[in-house]
Every structure is written in C-alpha cells, then in structure tokens.
Structure 1
Amino acid sequence: MKKRKRWLAFLMSAALVLGLLSGCATEQTPSDSDTAQSTFVFGDTTFNAENEEPDINPHNTYSGWACIRYGVGETLFRYSDTMEIQPWLATGYELVDELTWKITLRDGVAFSSGRAMDGEAVKECLEHLIEVHDRARSDLMIDTIAADGQTVTITTTEPRPTLLNYLSDPYGCIIDMQAGITEDGMVCGTGPYIADSLTTGEQLELKKNENYWNGEPGFDRVTVLTISDGDTLTMALQSGEIDGAYGMPYASYPLFQNDDYTFSSTATSRAFFAHMNFESTIIQDPAVRRAIAMGIDKERFVRDLLGGNGYPAIGVYPDNFSFGGDAVTAREYDPDGARAVLEAAGWVDTDGDGIREKNGQTLTIRWLTYPSRQELPLLAESVQATLGDIGFEVIINSTADHNSIRVDPTAWDVYASAMVTAPTGDPAYFFTTHCLDSSAVNNGHYHSDALERLATELDTTFDTDRRAELAVEMQQILLNDDAFVFCSHLQMSMISQSDVEGLVAHPCDFYEITVDLKPVP
C-alpha cells in the first residue's frame, strides 16, 4: 500500500486533532514497525456525530452502522445480496410459538477480548441494548431472554414477525459486555478487525483480529478517515493517500473510471426525502404540502444533479421491492398544477415580487438539511429553483447541526434527510422509525389514525404477502397526505485502488470492511 505521509501532513495543516484514545482491545501505540505491515486506508464522508455515528458503540444511537461497516461487530443474522435473512453468528432458529424464538449460536466464535461468544454473552448484550437504546427496545419488544449453553431463547411481549430482521440491524452487533464500553465508545466485537483507537469525527484505527472465526483478514491494519469534503476525498483517492472511498461526489466519478480503480455499485433503498413539519402553521395547509410535492422535479434532480446515479422515487421503497414504487401513486411534477392548487387555496402574489402571500403571510418555507450527504444540498438547490418558479420563497439551512434543530418544531418547515428505508428487507422499518406516534424520529409529528391501525396489523402479521399489501396501503396514506416527499433512491458506489479487492457495495449498505477485503495478489 502507498505511503501516507502527505495525507498526515494535510491533516496536520488542517489543524485536525489526531490524539489516540485507549480502546478495549489494546493499549499499544503504533510504532515504526507498523509501516512494514499491510494497511488499508478508507475515506468515508459519513462517519461523524452529524450522522449520529460519533463512535462504534452499537448501543449508541446509529453508531452500530460504524461498528458493522468497519468490521468490528457482527450480528446473529445478516442479509444476502438479495436481502434474504441468513445465519451469521447464529446457525439457525426455531419459532417455538408466536412469542418465542429459540436461536442456536455458532460454536468457536470469540470476542476480541478473548471471551467465548455463548448464550450468556448474547443475553447480556441484548439486555443492555434494550435497556439503553429506545429504538431497539421498540423494534424488538423483548420480554425475557434465557441462555443455555449455545442457545438463546427470546420471548417477546407480542408477536414479532420481524424479530430476526431487527436482530440483523447494526444495533444488533453482539459485543462483550464484560469487557465493557469505554467512555470513548470503543467495544469488543467478533469481527475481523479490532478497534485500536478512535477520534470522533476524524479517524478510527483498526488492527487484524488474529483469532477471527471466519478466515484470515486481508490487511494487518485499517485506518478509517472521516473526510466530509467531497473535493478532499477526491484528491486523496487520486493521489493514493487513501485506498478506498465511500461517498465520492458524483461529479468526480469520471476521474476514476479507468483501470487504476475498481468500482462496485448497487441499487439500494437509501432514499432522499422531505419530512413535512405538521407543527408548522404553513405546512398544516394541505394546499401547501400538495404544491411542494408537485413542485419537485425528481427526474431533473437525478439526471442533472446526481449524474444518473440513482432513480426517481415514487414511494418509500424502490421498484425492485414487491411493495415498492410501482405499487403506489405519488404526485407527479406539475408546476402549472401546483400553481392552480395554491391559487385555489388563496395563495396569490399581490405585490408582484414573485412570492405568494395569504392573509399577510408570505409563502416562505424554511428547508432544513445537512451537507455530509452530498446529495442533500444539491436537492435543496434544485427545490429552491423549482418551488421558486411557482411562488415559494425557500430559505435553505444546510448545517451539520441539523440534529439539534430538527427536534425544535418551531425552527423548520421541511426537513430533507437520507436513510436506508428497508435495511432489514422488511417494510416495517421505515414506518416504525418515522411515521407513527411512537416513532423515534417522527420529526414532523405526523399522525394518521388509519396508518396507526394498519401498523398494528403489520406488527403481528407473519404472512409475507399480507405484509407487502399492508406496506403498499400504508405508503399510499403517506403520499395522499403529502406527509413526506420521496425524491430519489441511491445507486451506491464504492471506489478502491486497483491493487485492492473485496470492497463491495451491498444493497443494505451495512457491510464494507470485511474479511474478504485484501490486497490484489
């Protein structure tokens, strides 16, 4: 692998703090001998507190994504390339009855701490998870957990058809609770790499797990660098200062479409979408919500601003899902129709300045978003232009501080974000996290009696065909209410130097640094 001196010089010149923090795996400070080891350096735009990933502790907000992506943690079950559940740390399960799941664990797996992974260790991990993680507690609905050797029996408070799906969520990474979670969010998992040090928002240092249960990791060390600026990420990969990249700007793709680099791309359910704030007086007007939905040019956004690296969204899920976009109907881009809707509702431009008014209030929308997902500022600019043409004033606030702002319903009208809407391969995930009274991130405080009733049925329905039917009905309620506007789904790409293999894009966007990542022989 190439030398990193220029990259470290860049970091120092940018006044980044690279203090190394002590982790549970080792207290060793990298020495000169490390330079002889094979090292993979990975640039990622999303590993930061802005995306609720300040560390690698899966029991902390969304930090499980970093834990599983960077090869530290693994879950009991995982997803195949076709998003089907398959065993991972578990070898199988038995559905004893609608409330009881008996899971058999894999023999011969140990944590990086050296402790064997058995039923008691899994029990301790899951019990702590549901104690401290609100979303996991709501998703899993665990009543009791019993351990017996290499089996774990989980009893839920009510039928939970999606239990295995939720156990495969990144928060389900099995970690050694006896080794503990450090103040800096370091954990001991079962993955191919062991966390050495972590500086939030800057870098994570990993070393090979010499005792990994599922093969030999391909690199001695891995460095994950948080590089939020797309131009900096581009230059780092071009110069060879990093070996792979996640979140590369689309405008930079042509620079890497040659034999010096390897592309891995896949369609995902990651959606870029807008939440309507039902606490906002202006958004409470159905005509305003409808006009916004009709005033966003999704085709142009994908074609011109994303360079075709995605596809326009209709509903929550992409077309290749059985409950996806083709099954529902959304507002089409229709600026003339949007103007007519606003006119009929009394929103008119009385002073000729191009902005409509009603009862002395201007048609001003405060559009909140964030920059670490490069697509979101582009979406904001596109929306500002197309909604401006029909009489809106759109004030954009693209800030890394969006998480503290979105919880204040007086501070925004529309919040644009990105998420993988079906990371578990099941339709329930988006609704339970975003749309219900009990949802952890129902940012706009949306409520629908009909949606709540269908969600209750979905929670207890084991039949997959019926689950798909319910997902279609529930999406249509959201679209009819203009509660959300789904703009596009992502064609996700990973780019690596040609002397690296095994950096592969996955539809669920979970698995990045794996045991298969290695230098080309």
Structure 2
Amino acid sequence: MKKKIMSGLLILVLLIVGITGCGSQQRSDETGSSGDEEGQKTFVFGDTTFNAENGEPDINPHNDNSGWACIRYGVGETLFRFNDEMEMEPWLAESCENVDEYTWKIVLREGISFTSGRVMDAEAVKECLEDLVKNHPRAAENLSIAEITAEDMTLTIRTSIPVPALINYLADPYGCIYDVQAGVTEEGIVQGTGPYRAVSLTTDSEMELVKNENYWNGEPKIDKITVRTISDGDTLTMALQSGEIDAAYGMPYASYPLFENDNYTFTSCETSRVFFGAMNFESPVTSDPAVRKAIAMGIDKEGFVETLLGGNGYPAAGVYPDNVSFGGDVVSAESYDPEGAKQVLEEAGWVDTDGDGIREKDGTSLVLRWLTYPSRQEQPLLAESAQATLGEIGFQVEINNTADHNRIRTDSDAWDIYVSAMVTAPTGDPEYFFKYHCLDSSSNNDGHYHSDRLEELAQEMAKTFDADKRAELAIQMQKVILDDNAYVFCSHLRMSMISKANVTGLTAHPCDYYEITVDLDIE
C-alpha cells in the first residue's frame, strides 16, 4: 500500500510539472538566472530549512541555530573547519597549541578583513567569542571560557574546566567570527569574513547576498545570490524544474527521478544526520520500559529506508553512522521484530481486552502521541510508516506534524515521542550529541531522561583528551541509552543537493555546513 501511495504521489508531481513545464521554461529562458540586465552573474538557491521553525530566523550565529545559515551561505567562517574526512584543519586560524588542559593558544591568519572593512585581529575575535558565550547558552556550556586575552594576532583562551573538544566546538556554526563592533542589523545580518555579504534578509522568505570584493581566499565568481526559503517539497521540486532556482537543498527523495538526466547534477555524501525519536519519561505510556522496547522493535527501519527514502540513507544502529570509529556496528539497537514486540507488551500487561486492535493496561489505552515537523520532507513519511507498523502490534499512533513543534516539545504533557532530525557529530567529536540531548544539564533533553551511569561516563569524557579513549566512552554511552530505549534511531541520511548542469563548485560535505563557497560558479 505504501509503495502504491508513493508511486501515486510521484506520478502527480510528474503530471503537474509536465503541465506547467513549457510556460515555466519560457520564463527561465527570458529572465536567465545566470545573469541580470547589467550582465552580472547571479545564482538562486532554494532551501527547505532556512526558517524560524529550524531556529534560523536570520544569520546571526549568536542567535539559536542561525550560525548554520551564516556558514552555509558563505557569510561567516570559523577559526577551524573540517575536511572531507571530518578531520580538523585551521581556517581563519593559522595554528593552535594546547598549552595545558585549561589553556589554548591560537594564532590567527594574517590579511583577513570583515565585510565591514575592519581587519580581523585577536581583539576582534575576542570580542566576538565573548559576545557568543554571553548570548548563546549552548556555546557557553560547551566552551566553558573563563578568560580570553588578545595580543596582535594571538588569541589565548583559558577555560574554567578542561574542554578537550574546544577546537571542535570552535568549528561549530555558532563559532562564525563576525565584526561585533559593526553590530547586528534589525534583520539579523552580520559582517563576516566569507566570500559573500548579506544585504537584505526577510525571515522565512529570502536573503540577498553580494560578492565580497575583498575576500581573503580567492575571488568569488557570482555577483549576486538569492537564497529562497521554500519549505514545501513539491514547490521546491517545481521551482527547480521551471528554472526559477538554480539549485536546491532538501529536495524530497520522491522527486529525485525527475532530475536524473543530463540537465541536472547531484552532489551527495553520507552524513551523521539521523532521524530519531526521544521518549518522554514523564508520559504514563513511554515511561514504561516495555512500551519503549516495543516501539524500538516495532519500527521497520529497513522498510523506511528502502521504500520511503528510496535508498538515500541506511538503517541506524545507534547515534552515529558507521563511517566513524564510535558508530555503526560497534553498538546494537533493537531489530525490527513485531512478534517479539507483541510478546514484550503482553508480558508487561498491555493486552487488547475489547478486541479493537488497541492494547490497554490499567484502564489506559496504548496511544502514542507522535510529535514531528514538516520541514524535513521525510519526517511525516516516517511517522506514517511507524503508524502502520506499530498499529499492527497494538499501538494507536496519533501524529502531530506541525511547524510549532519547538513550542510543543517543551510541554511534557503534549507528546509521548518527539521525532526530529539532527547531525549527531557536527564537530567530529562524540561528546556533542550527549551534551545536547541526554544529560541532566542538556538544553534539548526534551523527554527528561536520566541515567546515573550515563552521567558518570559523560563526566569522564569531559576530562578525557585522548581521541581513542573518547571513542571508547562514546560506545559505552550509546549502549546505555540503547539499553534504556531512551531514544530510537531510525536512519542516517545521505544528503544531496541538486543543481542545474551549468552549476559548478556546489559540493555536499559530511558535516552539512559548507554549501555556498568561493568555488561556486554558474556558466
């Protein structure tokens, strides 16, 4: 049935595109997104995720998740960055020395200026990082900065506790360095060091960029870039087909066949972005260990990946993908076993006494309130898949697919499982996910999960500098949360961007950060 529904949707999209294609193509030929009336080279990028719903109302990296937009669209850069193997390398920094467990000395690269015109030196970076920890709670917790001193091009950071992953955290998008003295406009625009400068921004609509004529690392090739927020997958599909945009991020997998021809180019890579559900430990339903175990056993990960993702991903064994030392087969999640899940529920007293297909226990029906959101195009599909497979073992799954999820998830009485998508290793280090989601102090411990053992392991990781030991601790920490079925990890994603064939220099990256760069060009 699910395959038939997906096929029907794809046929509908094809019919719509076929009907509108001739007129839309004429518009593309007349306007020409690769150049405007003055002969400037232009580029239009459609993105489903650049919106307030995802914590990106602007490009101020000190505001929620807006650092992702700042770094993705070529406005901001960080002191350090990741290469294609997710290894650390200097970017705005030239070198780094870990003097002792509390002290880091960073030498900055010479000859870099902000788009405001101010030279980037140690004092400018100091001002930016001090403003960051003042205004961004997660950054303040991660970095634990006690003092920063600046002398010419040398920045010295002293932390209040040992922070082994400090350099990794400085590569997080919130670490984009911008000119604090130039300020942040009412629109949320900052003056960074990247190849492009934002000149206008309307939340949930679009942003206009122009080339940074004085960029330090080469000459940008595009004169003007428009980033358009297109949260609806079908609308994004038709925008690329009609030529209204030159490239797209977040295209629904069901639309991929439309672009598998010589007119378009795919750039893809495996990422640590995972679809996963957080259990609500204050819910009378998911506070029951048997229910959590049955949920983990009742979701068909393989079927979801093959049927609904079209193979653009792979079933998740745990927090991390199998291309990192602390992920993949080193941990073992529950396998899809609907009959086993039924037995688990039966033994725990969840039985269908009235024959309506829904189990009950002590007068409470086995209703699972599934909270998710639409901007990640496959999230609703995962919800519908789980609704079907969990329904077969006695759950009644009620789906709340809403852009208002960030408000609702703070209300423990409003949901039982919150399913989202997250890049679990964006800093190339395993500590990130646990600090963000799983600990008593975590800002996004939405289900109020607690484990004494996990807290102990997290404290040990926080003071461990050896990379191999950190990986070993990460494996143990994953086993703790999987044994508790505190989270169910469904699938890691293969991230793709699709562009017209005449676009070059748009390359997918494992950390999902670097999209619009100095290499971007359009013929």
Scaled by the length of structure 1, what TM-score is found?
A: 0.94
Flag the 1:287–1:496 CA change in 2: closer, same or farther, 3 A. Answer: same
1:36 Cα deviation after fit? 2.5
Whole-angstrom CA distance in 1 between matches of 2:310 and 2:102: 47
> Quick one: distance in 2 between partners of 1:133 and 1:393?
39
Secondary structure of the structure 2 residue equivalent to 1:43? strand
Aligned equivalents of 2:231 and 2:321: distance in 1? 27
Q: 2:182 is paired with a residue of what secondary structure?
A: coil
1:110 maps to 113
- Does the C-alpha gap of structure 1 residues 460 and 235 become closer, same or farther in structure 2, counting only changes over 3 Å? same
Q: For 2:155 and 2:411, how far apart are their aligned partners in 1?
A: 41
1:506-517 residue pairs with structure 2 within 5 A? 506-517=509-520
Amino acid in the other structure paired with 2:51: N
Aligned-residue CA RMSD (Å): 1.4
Tell me how far apart the structure 1 counterparts of residues 448 and 143 of structure 2 sit (CA, whole Å). 23
Partner of residue 16, structure 2: none
Query: Aligned partners of 1:271 and 1:183: how far apart in 2?
Result: 34
Any idea what the Cα deviations from partners look like across 1:427-456, whole Å, max 9, x if unmatched?
001001000011111111101010001001
What's the CA shift for 1:33? 7.2
User: Any gaps of 5 or more consecutive residues in structure 1?
Assistant: 8-31
Once residues 447 and 283 of structure 1 are traced to their aligned partners in structure 2, the CA distance between those partners, rounded to angstroms, is 14
TM-score, length-scaled by structure 2: 0.93
Aligned length: 495
1:482 alignment counterpart: 485
1:60-84 Cα offsets, whole Å, 9 max, x none, are 0000000000000000000000000
What does residue range 57-68 of structure 1 map to in structure 2 within 5 Å?
A: 57-68=60-71
Q: Which residue of the other structure, out of 78, 82, 101, is the alignment partner of 2:81? A: 78
For residue 4 of structure 1, report the CA deviation from its aligned partner: 10
Identity of aligned residues (%): 70
In 1, the alpha carbon distance for the partners of 2:98 and 2:479 equals 32
Residue 500 (structure 2) pairs with residue 502 (structure 1): no
Q: Contact 2:187 / 2:200 at 8 angstroms: preserved in 1?
A: no
**Equivalent in 408, 412, 420 of residue 409 of structure 1:** 412
Change (3 A) 1:330 1:519: same
What is the CA distance between 1:35 and its match in structure 2? Answer: 5.0
2:450 is aligned to: 447
SS of aligned partner of 1:289: helix
1:465 and 2:452 are equivalent in the alignment? no
Gaps of 5+ in 2: 1-23, 29-34
- The reply on whether 1:135 has 2:131 as its aligned counterpart is no
Q: Please tell me the residue identity of whatever aligns with 2:119.
A: A
1:109-140 Cα offsets, whole Å, 9 max, x none, are 00000000000000000000000100000011
- Tell me whether 1:276 sits opposite 2:279 in the alignment: yes
1:300-315 alignment runs, 5 A limit: 300-315=303-318
SS, match of residue 194 in structure 1: strand
Alignment partners' CA distance in 2, 1:394 and 1:365: 5
Counterpart AA for 1:222: I
Q: Distance in 1 between matches of 2:133 and 2:186?
A: 19
Cα contact 2:200–2:209 (8 A) shared by 1: yes
> 1:40 is aligned with what amino acid?
F
Alignment correspondent of 1:184: 187
Counterpart CA distance in 1 for 2:196 and 2:58 is: 15
Residue from 386, 389, 392 that aligns with 1:386: 389
Paired position in structure 2 for 1:20: none
Residue 201 of structure 1 corresponds to which residue in structure 2?
204
Question: Where does 1:22-421 land on structure 2 (aligned, <5 Å)?
Answer: 35-421=38-424
Secondary structure at 1:384 match in 2: helix
Map of 1:456 onto structure 2? 459
AA aligned opposite 1:509: D
Post-superposition offset of 1:519 = 1.7
Return the alpha-carbon distance in structure 2 between the equivalents of residues 114 and 4 of structure 1.
41
**Runs (4+) of structure 1 moved beyond 3 Å?**
3-7, 32-35
Letter of the structure 2 residue corresponding to residue 502 of structure 1: G
